[in-house]
Chains A and B, each alone.
Chain A
Amino acid sequence: DIQMTQSPSSLSASVGDRVTITCRTSRTINTYLNWYQHKPGKAPKLLIYSASNLQSGVPPRFGGSGSGTDFTLTINSLQPEDFATYYCQQSYGTPWTFGQGTKVGIK
């Protein structure tokens, strides 16, 4: 299985901050990497697919980059509705695997 390591596991930030979350994979996956946002009691939401493509309807303050084994999710100008847990997920090979999540909390 491809192992996914996210960092940090949690962070505290203020509205307006720029937030960066990283995801590292145990082997190269080209750009077969997706990012999701998850709020308690809600359905997870696809934010970014293929490492850097913004899903339809997602605000442009969200951005993704990377290829190979190292990937980044950036949130520019954090908004109140962005406080949530973020997961990376690889689609390079089954079984599909997820990072352990990064919880973005209010400072």
Chain B
Amino acid sequence: AQTVTQSQPEMSVQEAETVTLSCTYDTSESDYYLFWYKQPPSRQMILVIRQEAYKQQNATENRFSVNFQKAAKSFSLKISDSQLGDAAMYFCAYKEGNTPLVFGKGTRLSVIA
């Protein structure tokens, strides 16, 4: 079964600085999708960014970008110019075909003013 590992239970970053959240996964498939979701205290899971495994180019969404290393099965999230509103739980997730998402245990990000 596919597994997703987030090795950092908690991270903190100074406002306006850059932080990187780590994620590794295990799969024998070559075609799949990877996601980062943000979950603030409101519980709503909000999609931050997605990456198709067949694309070599790293996905970018404004201040959010990923470093996708397919051979290493690594998918880290970089948040630039961190803002107070970025404070939340961040979940890395894996999906292939019509299967459900497999989530990591999450990283709690604190932003220090």
Task: Report whether chain A binds chain B.
Answer: no
B residues neighboring A (CB under 8 Å): none
A residues neighboring B (CB under 8 Å): none
